[in-house]
Amino acid sequence: MVSTVSNRLAAKRGLIDFILQRLTAVVLGIYVIHLTLVFALNGDMDYTAWRSYFNSGYSLLLASLTIVCVVLHGWIGMWTIGTDYLIGSPIKRAARVIYQLIVVFILAAYLVFSMMLIWGYL
Amino acid sequence: MLVSIYRYVPEQDEAPRMQDYEFALPAERDLMVLDVLEQLRVEDPSISYRRSCREGVCGSDGMNMNGRNGLACKTTVSSVVRKSGKLVLRPLPGLPVIRDLVVDMSQFYAQYEKVDPYLINDDEPPQQERLQSIEDREKLDGLYECILCACCSTSCPSFWWNPEKFIGPAGLLQAYRFLADSRDQATEERLEKLGDAYSVFRCRTIMNCVDACPKELNPTRAIGKIRAMLLDG
């Protein structure tokens, strides 16, 4: 059962990654434009305005979504790079495992600390 | 003109080497690269390369000429040598060398075979032929002309890196040739085989294949259409 599901997922992995990479890129683009506009339209933001913006519900949700998208986008891209360059010899394949562990660690740390930071747990 | 040719016989040589030959180009006309090789081979019969039709139909003499893949029989010396004054001939990149400019194409054909490059139609065959409308037939233009010379796939870094998993531009052009064929009934089965992380989606759209194709076909566009069909599916 589990192997059937994982086989089906593997058979669609390229398509899923392709869609996810583009959707997450769109979200990242929207967030960059949004943030640019916020700063451009409120040029003289003081600490109170800054804090009020980052504590508003929509800002927290949009920032959280963006962070999740950075992690997904980053993982797909870095996984692709690893499976392009670190292939073939046992040494290269071992290097890929280490490389992927480092990428997972960095992305997980980024996800946890960014979420804690914007939701006020740090 | 100086002609530098990749020489390697794996059973005899420790490592590949480049061997230089002096070649007197005729002033009155432009030769094809294959003409140069044929004349050099009279001097040195040990130079190995494939050739057959010498007019860009069989696809045998695909090789790397001054850094670009192409067919030696339809590439003029002047178009590759330009100001350098030197013609450098190497085998198609990324495939194992059998001898000098002759490469082992097994991996390339294995990928071609994966796409079931034949019409699948379970209906009773008509007495003469399966007819198509003019519009449906036109959809195959730019696809059926591929001669499997491997110039495109061996110019693709994704194929160099994952030759066992990425089908490569030549195979994918053929995959779309049958996906686009109105007489074929296996569209779903064909697409099911292409959704994984490697077969189609390793293409990074750098278009080396379009640049290399001696028949001026566009495998990148075919790959884009396969992706669109997968997204629609």
Torsion angle, alpha carbons of B136, B140, B141, B142, to 10: 150
CATH at B177 = 1.10.1060.10
Give pLDDT tens digits for A73-83: 999 999 999 99
Claim to verify: residue B118 and residue B40 sit in the same structural domain: no
Claim to verify: residue B123 and residue B215 sit in the same structural domain: yes
pLDDT at B53: 95
pLDDT at A2: 66
Name the minimum distance, in Å, from the CA of A23 to any CA of chain B: 13
Claim to verify: residue B179 and residue B206 sit in the same structural domain: yes
First and final CA of chain A: distance in angstroms? Answer: 42
Dihedral (CA of B33, B105, B109, B218) sign? negative
Claim to verify: residue B99 and residue B110 sit in the same structural domain: no
Bridge partners of B68, per DSSP, are B65
Q: Which of B103, B130, B158 is the last residue of a domain?
A: B103
**Which of B196, B203, B205, B206 to mutate to probe the A interface, most A CBs <10 Å?**
B196
The domain containing residue B97 runs over which residues? 2-103
Claim to verify: residue B86 and residue B153 sit in the same structural domain: no
Low-confidence ranges of chain B (pLDDT < 50): none
Claim to verify: residue B194 and residue B125 sit in the same structural domain: yes
Contacts of A11 in chain B (CB under 8 A): 192, 195-196
Smallest Cβ–Cβ distance between B196 and the set A14, A19, A87 belongs to: A14
- Using the predicted structure, report yes or no on whether residue A51 has a pLDDT greater than 90: no
Q: Which of B76, B103, B130 is the last residue of a domain?
A: B103
CATH at B48 = 3.10.20.30
B82-89 contacts, C-beta under 8 A, 24 or more apart = B85/B1, B85/B2, B86/B1, B86/B2, B86/B3, B86/B4, B87/B1, B87/B2, B87/B3, B87/B4, B87/B23, B87/B33, B87/B36, B88/B4, B88/B18, B89/B3, B89/B4, B89/B5, B89/B6, B89/B33, B89/B37, B89/B63, B89/B64, B89/B65
Q: What percent of chain B has pLDDT over 70?
A: 100
- Interface size between A and B, measured as CB pairs under 8 A: 39
**Which of A13, A15, A22, A23 to mutate to probe the B interface, most B CBs <10 Å?**
A15
pLDDT confidence of A54, banded at 50, 70, 90?
confident
Q: Which of B81, B103, B125 is the last residue of a domain?
A: B103
Q: Cβ separation of A84 and B196 shorter than 8 Å?
A: no
Question: What DSSP state is assigned to residue A98?
Answer: H
pLDDT at B163: 94
**The CATH number of domain A2-118, selected from 3.40.50.2300, 1.20.1300.10, 1.10.274.10, 3.30.700.30:** 1.20.1300.10
Domains of chain B: total: 2
The bridge status of strand B68-71 relative to strand B102-103 is unpaired
Q: Cβ separation of A14 and B198 shorter than 8 Å?
A: yes
Claim to verify: residue B224 and residue B114 sit in the same structural domain: yes
Name the minimum distance, in Å, from the CA of A47 to any CA of chain B: 44
Claim to verify: residue B15 and residue B46 sit in the same structural domain: yes
Q: Regarding predicted confidence, which is higher, B175 or A1?
A: B175
The residue in chain A having the minimum alpha-carbon distance to the alpha carbon of residue B160 is: A84
Bridge partners of B18, per DSSP, are B6
For the ranges A9-18, A101-110, B23-32, the one whose mean pLDDT is highest:
A101-110
Q: Cβ separation of B197 and A84 shorter than 8 Å?
A: no
Contacts of A15 in chain B (CB under 8 A): 195, 201, 230-231
Claim to verify: residue B112 and residue B221 sit in the same structural domain: yes
